Amino acid sequence: MSDSPKKRLATTSLAGCFGCHMSLLDIDERILALIEQVEFDRSPINDIKKITRRCDVGLIEGGCCNEENVHTLQEFRRKCDVLVAVGQCAIMGGLPVMRNAIMHSDDPLKECLYEAYIDSPYIQNDNHQIPNDPALPLILDRVYSCSEVVKIDYQIPGCPPSGDMLWQTLTSLIEGRPENLPLELIKYD
């Protein structure tokens, strides 16, 4: 192990499925080499809920559907030197962004909530109430990609990106060189 201090890495999932974090685990035994080079800060990998100090790299999975997502993303931007949008949900909104296209009324959020909790034929909601507990984060008017909310330094495409792509990107960023992903890692044909 090197005498230089370990880089700090933080990860989070916003409005995503955790598939990108599963891809991080798909680096297999290379995760041991990664742990030699980085110290995980906030991450579901170590169950730390808040960023404890400045991080070198932040990985963001998922887009922004509610105010909590926005707050978390803004915190990562403030506390991470390099911010990486990981996967299609972070880059383009992914499946959650589909709700943006189906809104046709003057109040698209209300339309979405009514469809989800009252009007759907598959809902059993005898009270016909939309959840409004103060503990629930407020839903945004639409789904936003990460780059619509904060400056993103790098994007790793895929749904989810491969473990190899995450490994190559992380090792490049840890070593302080910009990432140039080879075509064979990012083509999908």
Task: Decide if 125 is inside a domain.
Answer: no
Res. 185 pLDDT band, cuts 50 70 90: low
Interval 103-145: pLDDT, tens: 667 777 788 788 888 888 888 888 889 888 889 898 898 899 9
Model confidence at 22, pLDDT cuts 50, 70, 90, reads very high
- Whether 23 maps to a domain, the answer reads yes
- How far apart (Å, rounded) are the C-alpha atoms in residues 151 and 134? 30
Confirm whether 105 is domain-assigned. no
Read off the pLDDT of residues 73-113 as tens digits, 9 standing for 90 and up. 999 999 999 999 999 999 999 888 888 887 667 777 788 78
71 found inside a domain: yes
The mean pLDDT value of the chain amounts to: 87
Q: How far is CA 177 from CA 133, 135, 181, in A?
A: 46, 42, 12
pLDDT band (50, 70, 90) for residue 9: very high
Query: How many domains does the chain fold into?
Result: 1
Q: What is the pLDDT of residue 180?
A: 66
* Residue 118 is assigned to a structural domain of this protein: no
87 domain residue, yes or no: yes
Structural domain span for residue 80: 7-97+139-186
Show the tokens assigned to 84: 């990486």
Quick check: is 28 in a domain? yes
| CATH code of 61's domain | 3.40.50.700
Q: Per the domain annotation, does 102 fall within a domain?
A: no
